[in-house]
Amino acid sequence: MAADTLLPAGGGREPPGVLIEQGAHAPRPPGRGTDPWYVRAVLVGLTVLIVGGLVGLPLVAVFHHALANGLGAYWHNLTADPDTRHAIFLTLMVAPVAVGLNVAFGIAAAWVIARFRFPGRGVLVTLIDLPFSVSPVVAGLVFVLLFGLNAPAGEWLRAHGYQVLFAPPGLVLATAFVTFPFVARELIPVLEAIGPEEELAARSLGASGWELFWRITLPNIKWALLYGVILCNARAMGEFGAVYVVSGRIGGRTDTMPLRVEKLFQEYNTPAAFGLASVLTLLALVTLIAKVLIEPRLREKAPPSIGEP
Amino acid sequence: MWAKLVFAVAAAYILGAAAWVISAGVVRPKEGGELLNVACDPTRELWRDLNAAFVREHDEKHGTRLSVLQAHGGSGSQARAVVDGLEADVITLALWTDTDAVRKAGLINPGWEDRLPNRSLPYTSTIVFVVRNGNPKGVRDWADLARDDVAVVTPNPKTSGNGRWSFLALWGSVVWRGGTDARAREFVRGVYTRVPVLDPAARGATMTFAQKGIGDVHLTWENEARLEVAEAGGALQVVYPGRPGEKPLSVLAEPHVAVVDRNVDRKGTRAAAEAYMAFLYTPPAQEVIARHHHRPTDPAVFARHRDHFPDMDLRRATTLVPSGKWDDIQKTYFAEGAEFDRLYSAKAKN
């Protein structure tokens, strides 16, 4: 750790980075009647209508179709078909590994960006956001070009008996790429807000880099990290586009849950398709609940500790 | 400490999953053998049954536990995936050009077409119409598709075998009846002008037409049409396009099959792959093929299912180009800037 040779980011001197979420702590003025009642009524009504129609209805429809033939059929749809079972297994293998990679890379990237000023930092911040702006299909194709038989890397790996593309390692790479920003983006503003003072103090008291991370940094960012992990995991399990391209769509081998849902739907097996889709939806609901539970913790940790004017 | 326990369990789980993922990338021969059939889109149900029948027969004969895996998608993109390294043992694609693209990449030996019986065609098919029940628009012949009030659904010829056969059938419906290429171009452009959605693969187009209810006529494989109508439960019907008093006219769709030489040699699965392909020509397999509404090439089996397949005037696509070569069909109609691009970009300008 070269914290003393590189210039640490001053807690309050720097203008807030682009990634800092603004206004999270500004006290809201109580909603007194600045707008006429009908404006409020129309806006609230529209919002309820849009959320209900775009989010609520499809949610209900998924479970309605999934449970159309009763609970027994629902369970049978999920567990009887070996390809569906394998898809669930594969998603439970691929998503956590992608999340794990992103936790490691995300913490490292966020720490470097929040603590140091160096040439190319702005580019790095932009690059972290890149997977959000690139179409997942393009992301998948990039891996095809990198690891395809026509690329040197693909050729070499093939010659040495290893398959990245059209196999689980490729699925993990594509998923990790697409979900990369989630963890880093959550951590950068928190690390910037906390400032380096606690870490510097620990350092001056003789803490090693490892102790510094486990005793100071990690406890400070743990809620933001958990929040990022949850979002990252939800997206990783639901990822379709990039995975579609790199999977080769081999039934019972490289089909993840979202791919399997599409396949079942196209094979006229609507109840099974919606059954599996409902599992993904349940996951989304769990994510939502976890998110709601964590958000207050995030706020109480977020205010900067020392050194802020 | 709960947190520590949860953390330890999560870390152990992720490490375990990572170990599994990394080891899953190692290529190793599977016990009992494993074949991967990379197929075009609308043959999922067919191969499920054919694979089950083949595995049963093969295991009985050899005492092994063979498994056959399937991958389905648009014919062109499947060929591309095999070229990019998808470990297909056999490919069963919709178009000669797609199979030959894999040969051009050096994965299949030259002369593949003559290595299996009947020019490597265990079955053929054709392109027919699916319309809403009762045929409300009165669509009976190819010429009806030129009408302004008829919207046609068919997949994109650039990516889909179904799309290409539809295009060739449309073009041929003019030329085979003595029309000029200029007339054909006019007719085909008119049809594609009114295609509301150009899906990338056959099954997607079926969903667009049957489930989303878009369009008046669905141009699709005969087998896909039969399946689609059966699934729709009376909402749809098949039309065999032709003039009154004449035999219905369409293209002879030829979905070739081939063993991917370089893959089977490396994986050591040549014997199983060749047995798999040979099995397709046996009477039991031909029966399965006929049951799935593909036209079996075994004359005896075809005769048994005679009344299942209306007598049609089926023309080979290669009659559309003077040289009779698929490469020229590709060049004339589907290559970058060829007929389809020209008439479809003309649509965009309108």
| Domain-wise residue ranges, chain B | 34-121+254-308, 128-251+318-349
Report helix, strand and coil shares of chain B as percent, to nearest 5.
50, 15, 35
Q: What sign results for the dihedral spanned by CA atoms B68, B69, B73, B79?
A: negative
Which of A99, A162, A267 is facing B26, going by the closest CB pair?
Answer: A162
**Distance, in angstroms, between A253 CA and closest chain B CA?**
8
In the prediction, which pLDDT does B304 show? Answer: 94
Contact A26, A302 (CB under 8 A): no
Same fold, B34-121+254-308 and B128-251+318-349: yes
The answer to whether B13 contacts chain A (CB < 8 Å) is: yes
| CB < 8 Å to B17, chain A | 92-94, 96-97, 100
Q: Which of B67, B80, B84, B229 to mutate to test the interface with A (most CBs of A within 10 A)?
A: B84
Six-digit token pair at B285? 């397999």
Task: Label residue A243 by pLDDT band (50, 70, 90).
Answer: very high
**φ and ψ at B315, to 5 degrees?**
-110, 145
d(CA B72, CA B93): 9
| CB < 8 Å to A158, chain B | 85
Six-digit token pair at B172? 């041929």
Six-digit token pair at B261? 């030489």
Helix (H, G, I), strand (E, B) or coil at B73: strand
DSSP assigned state of B347: H
Q: Which residue has the tokens 């949850």?
A: A230
Give residue-wise pLDDT tens across range B135-180: 999 999 999 999 999 999 999 998 888 999 999 999 999 999 999 9
The answer to whether B321 contacts chain A (CB < 8 Å) is: no
Spans of all domains in chain A: 82-301
In the prediction, which pLDDT does B150 show? Answer: 95
Residues counted in chain A = 309
| CB < 8 Å to B87, chain A | 163, 166
Task: Label residue A1 by pLDDT band (50, 70, 90).
Answer: very low
Residue A184 has pLDDT above 60, yes or no: yes
**φ and ψ at B223, to 5 degrees?**
-65, -40
Average pLDDT, chain B: 92
Contact A137, A242 (CB under 8 A): yes
Q: Is A291 exposed, middle or buried (0-12, 13-18, 19+ CB in 10 A)?
A: middle
The answer to whether B303 contacts chain A (CB < 8 Å) is: no
The answer to whether B14 contacts chain A (CB < 8 Å) is: yes
Residue A70 has pLDDT above 70, yes or no: yes
CA B8 to chain centre: 49
Alpha helices in B257-308 (DSSP H): 261-267, 270-279, 283-291, 299-304
Task: Label residue B128 by pLDDT band (50, 70, 90).
Answer: very high
Contact B155, B201 (CB under 8 A): yes
Task: Label residue A301 by pLDDT band (50, 70, 90).
Answer: low
CA A108 to chain centre: 16
> How large is the average pLDDT for residues B192-205?
89
Instruction: Please report the ipTM that was assigned to this predicted complex.
Output: 0.83
Give residue-wise pLDDT tens across range B64-112: 889 999 999 888 889 999 999 999 999 999 999 999 999 999 999 999 9
d(CA B129, CA B120): 27
d(CA B340, CA B171): 11
| CB < 8 Å to A237, chain B | none
Contacts of B343 (CB under 8 A, 6+ apart): B185, B188, B189, B192
Are the beta carbons of B81 and A163 separated by less than 8 Å? Answer: no
Contact A277, A62 (CB under 8 A): yes
Residue A209 has pLDDT above 80, yes or no: yes
The answer to whether B18 contacts chain A (CB < 8 Å) is: yes
Average pLDDT, chain A: 84
Helix (H, G, I), strand (E, B) or coil at B221: strand
| CB < 8 Å to B36, chain A | 250
Residue B293 has pLDDT above 70, yes or no: yes
Per-residue exposure over B292-301, b if at least 16 CB sit within 10 Å of its own CB, e if not: bbbbbbbeeb
**φ and ψ at B232, to 5 degrees?**
-80, -10
Task: Label residue A297 by pLDDT band (50, 70, 90).
Answer: confident
Convert chain A into a string of H (helix), E (strand) and C (coil). Answer: CCCCCCCECCCCCCCCCCCCCCCCCCCCCCCCCCCCHHHHHHHHHHHHHHHHHHHHHHHHHHHHHHCCCHHHHHHHHHHCCHHHHHHHHHHHHHHHHHHHHHHHHHHHHHHHHHHECCCCHHHHHHHHHHHHHCCHHHHHHHHHHHHCCCCHHHHHHHHCCECCCCCHHHHHHHHHHHCHHHHHHHHHHHHHHHCCHHHHHHHHCCCCHHHHHHHHHHHHHHHHHHHHHHHHHHHHHHCCHHHHHHHCCECCCCCCHHHHHHHHHHCCCHHHHHHHHHHHHHHHHHHHHHHHHHHHHHHHHCCCCCCCC
The closest alpha carbon to B87, from A90, A148, A262, belongs to: A148
Q: What sign results for the dihedral spanned by CA atoms A187, A190, A193, A195?
A: negative
In DSSP notation, B122-151 reads SEEEEEEEEEETT-TT---SGGGGGSTT--
**φ and ψ at B259, to 5 degrees?**
-85, 135
| CB < 8 Å to B231, chain A | 268
Residue A13 has pLDDT above 80, yes or no: no
Q: Would you tell me which CATH number, out of the four given (1.10.10.10, 3.40.190.10, 3.90.1200.10, 3.30.465.10), belongs to the domain B128-251+318-349?
A: 3.40.190.10
The second-level CATH assignment, the architecture, of B34-121+254-308 is 3-Layer(aba) Sandwich (3.40)
d(CA A84, CA A209): 45
d(CA B218, CA B171): 16
Q: Is B103 exposed, middle or buried (0-12, 13-18, 19+ CB in 10 A)?
A: middle
C-alpha dist (Å) from residue B126 to B220, B224, B311, B317: 8, 10, 12, 11
Residue B188 identity: V
Which of B36, B70, B207 is facing A266, going by the closest CB pair?
Answer: B207
Which of A147, A249, A267 is facing B71, going by the closest CB pair?
Answer: A249
DSSP assigned state of B26: B
* Cα–Cα–Cα angle for A63, A67, A69, rounded to 5 degrees: 155
> How large is the average pLDDT for residues A79-106?
94
The second-level CATH assignment, the architecture, of A82-301 is Orthogonal Bundle (1.10)
Task: Label residue A309 by pLDDT band (50, 70, 90).
Answer: very low
> How large is the average pLDDT for residues B217-233?
93
| CB < 8 Å to A262, chain B | none
Give residue-wise pLDDT tens across range B46-68: 999 999 999 999 999 988 889 99
Contacts of B3 (CB under 8 A, 6+ apart): none
> How large is the average pLDDT for residues A119-128?
90
Residue B350 has pLDDT above 80, yes or no: no
